[in-house]
């Protein structure tokens, strides 16, 4: 059974390293590797100044039968005078991908988002991540382009779902 459990401080330590590594890869598409890592570190730590207790940020460990299989992080953000949920990270253990765990975790997190009174979800997904895009489309997410920083050279897309 797939469940979400609030992330611990110890798990956050490893999670931050993972997020920084992945974000560095994305930034390094448009800048030097050292600069990309510094930018990724700056963004990661500025978004979570109080760690797992950062206001309006929700960090979960995804478990199956009490075994950690991934992580998910979303935040309540104000965009154009409306509150939305923005999913900053979804990840399933590499050896378990393609088995429906990500889809189930997304369905569970959507219920969590509804519980806090939000009805719009957005996320960023790399354009070359066809497996994730396929999953999000099956979950009724669509490409969203009506945002302030739309960049045609962005290596990813913003996707949105209305709950």
Task: Assign 33 to helix, strand or coil.
Answer: helix
**CATH no. for residue 104?**
3.40.630.30
Q: Which of 84, 55, 90, 87 is nearest to 163 (CA)?
A: 84
Q: Which of 103, 99, 100, 98 is nearest to 161 (CA)?
A: 103
pLDDT given for residue 147 in this prediction = 62
- Count the domains in the chain: 1
Mean of per-residue pLDDT scores for the chain = 92
Confidence of residue 150 (pLDDT cuts 50, 70, 90): low
pLDDT given for residue 30 in this prediction = 84
Higher pLDDT, 157 or 139: 139
Residue 163: CB atoms within 10 Å: 12
Instruction: Residue 54: give the domain boundaries.
Output: 2-162
Task: Assign 145 to helix, strand or coil.
Answer: coil
Buried/exposed code over 104-141 (b: 16+ C-beta within 10 A; e: otherwise): bbbebbbeebeeeebebbbbbbbeeeeebbebbeeeeb
Q: Which of 148, 24, 20 is nearest to 79 (CA)?
A: 148
Q: Could you give the CA distance from residue 115 to residue 101 in angstroms, rounded to a whole number?
A: 21
**52 beta partners:** none
pLDDT in tens, 52-97: 999 999 999 999 999 999 999 999 999 888 999 999 999 999 999 9
pLDDT given for residue 87 in this prediction = 97
Q: Could you give the CA distance from residue 159 to residue 143 in angstroms, rounded to a whole number?
A: 4
69 token code pair: 């299989």
């Amino acid at each position: 059974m797939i469940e979400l459990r609030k992330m611990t401080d110890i798990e956050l330590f490893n999670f931050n390293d993972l997020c920084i590594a992945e974000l560095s890869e994305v930034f390094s598409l448009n800048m030097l590797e050292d600069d990309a890592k510094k930018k990724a570190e700056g963004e990661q730590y500025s978004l979570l100044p109080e760690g797992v207790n950062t206001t309006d940020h929700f960090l979960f460990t995804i478990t199956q039968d009490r075994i950690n299989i991934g992580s998910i992080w979303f935040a309540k953000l104000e965009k154009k005078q409306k509150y939305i949920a923005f999913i900053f990270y979804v990840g399933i253990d590499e050896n378990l991908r393609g088995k429906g765990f990500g889809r189930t975790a997304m369905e569970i997190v959507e219920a969590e988002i509804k519980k806090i009174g939000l009805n719009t979800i957005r996320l960023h997904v790399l354009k070359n991540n066809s497996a994730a895009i396929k999953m999000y489309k099956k979950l009724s997410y669509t490409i969203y382009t009506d945002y302030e920083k739309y960049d045609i050279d962005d290596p990813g897309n913003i996707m949105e779902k209305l709950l």
